[in-house]
Structure 1
C-alpha cells in the first residue's frame, strides 16, 4: 500500500504535463492580492535528485524534463521554479508539486500537505518547514478540512493509483469535495494507461462535473512494456486561460509521436 516512491519517476513527461500547468495556475491565482489556500493530498518528498540511483535506473527524467525544457520560455512559471530549485538545491535537483507551491505562493497564503509514506513524509517536513505537512490519508484530510480558510484556492489530488480501488472511489471523493468547496479549483492528475483503467473514472467525472476541463497528453512508453502512455488532468473550475495553455502544451507533446 505504501510502496510507491516518486523518485523513480521524478521529472518524467507526466511531471512536465502536471507541474507546468500547476505552476501556471498558481502564478495566475497569485496575481490577485487576495489570500488563498493550497491543499495537496499526496505530496511526496517535494525535492528530487535526478542523479540519484533510483532516478537513473528508470531514465524517465532524461526522456522528460531534460528534453522538454526547450518547450518553455525562461519566464514561464514552471521554468522559474526549475531555476530556483537548481540554484538553491543543485543542478540535478527537481521540484515536486509541493515545492512549486511554496516557491509561488505568498506569506498570506496557506499550504496544507498530506503524505502517508513515513520516509516521504519525513523528507517533506525537512524540505518544507514553512508548510503544514500531515502524515495522514490525503483523501480523509481533504474531507475534514473543506471548505478551507481562506476559501479561495486550489487542491491537487495526485495519487499513485497503486491502490486499484482509487479509480472507483475518486469520483465519489471529488463529488463530495465539490459540494463542500464550491469555489475551489480541484485538480486531479491521472495516468493514461494501455490497460484503459482510467476510462470509467473519467466517464464518472465528466457526468458529475460537465464543466470540468480535461487535459490529456500522450507520449511513448518510458521503456518496453511500460503501461503508462500519457498523462491527464481533470480540473473543476479551471482558471481563465488554462484551456489555451493546455492546448499549447499538447502541441509540444504531439511532436513526440
Structure 2
C-alpha cells in the first residue's frame, strides 16, 4: 500500500516517544570509536514542515512536540537534532528518523534507508544526499543485507501498519533478522490503538525474544475519535541505560493522562 504519508502525523506524541529514544541510542552507539550500521525499513521523507497543510489538518504536532519540547534538557540528543533541523531548514521544520540518524551518526558510519512510496522516496533522497536511499520493500531489503558491514549497529522498523497483515508477518521477519544479525539492536515501533490490534503480535514477539525491552506510553487521542492512544517500542538487545531513560520518559507521558 502506497497511500500513507507521515506528514499528517509528523511531530506527534508517538514521534516524540520514538525519536527521543532513537536519538539517545544513536548517541550511545557513537560514544565508542567504532563504526556503526544504521538500517531503516520505512523511512518516509526525513524532513517535515509542521506548517504544511497536511500537518495542520490533523494538528498532531500541536499536541506533540510543540507541547512537550520542555521535557528534554538542552543537551539531550533529541533536542540537539531538533535544534540542528530548525537552524538548517527553518523554525517549523521537524526531522524524521532518517534525518535524526544522519545528524547523530558520523562519516565513518553507514546509513541505508528504504521507502517504497515514490513521492516520499524522492523527498528522502533530496533530504539525505549522503545516505543510501532505496525505493524497495523495507522488509525485503533488510533480509538481503543482514548481517551488515560494519556489524555493530541498529535497525529501525517503523511501518505504517496500514497493511493489516503486518501485525501477523512482522514477528517472522524479526525472528529471521535477529538470527542473521546476532549483535544488532533491532527496534520495532508500533501504534497502540483502541482496537488492540497489536496484542497478538506482541505476544509472539515476547515469546520469541524474552530478553527484549518492551516500552509503551499512553496519551490522549490527538482529536475526538482518533484511534491511536499510545506508542510502543519493542527493542531487541537494548543498550545499557536505555531502560532507565525510557522509564524517565514514561513519567512525563503518564502526567498527560
The yes-or-no answer on 1:66 pairing with 2:66 is yes
The yes-or-no answer on 1:211 pairing with 2:215 is no
Q: Deviations along 1:16-68, whole A, 9 cap, x unmatched?
A: 00000000000000000000100000000000000000000000000000111
The TM-score with structure 2 as length reference comes to 1.00
Q: Which residue of 2 aligns with 1:200?
A: 200
Structure 2 CA distance for aligned equivalents of residues 15 and 238 of structure 1: 19
The yes-or-no answer on 1:91 pairing with 2:84 is no
Q: Which residue of 1 aligns with 2:236?
A: 236
Structure 2 CA distance for aligned equivalents of residues 224 and 184 of structure 1: 39
What is the CA RMSD across the aligned residues, in angstroms? 0.3
Structure 2 CA distance for aligned equivalents of residues 192 and 10 of structure 1: 17
- Structure 1 unaligned regions, length at least 5: none
SS at match of 1:38: strand
Structure 2 CA distance for aligned equivalents of residues 208 and 184 of structure 1: 16
Q: Which residue of 1 aligns with 2:152?
A: 152
The TM-score with structure 1 as length reference comes to 1.00
SS at match of 1:162: coil
Shift of 1:69: 0.5
Q: Which residue of 1 aligns with 2:24?
A: 24
Shift of 1:112: 0.2
Q: Which residue of 2 aligns with 1:39?
A: 39
The yes-or-no answer on 1:13 pairing with 2:9 is no
The yes-or-no answer on 1:139 pairing with 2:139 is yes
Q: How many residues align?
A: 257
SS at match of 1:66: helix
Structure 1 CA distance for aligned equivalents of residues 172 and 156 of structure 2: 16
SS at match of 1:188: strand
- Structure 2 unaligned regions, length at least 5: none
SS at match of 1:232: strand
Shift of 1:124: 0.2
Shift of 1:175: 0.1
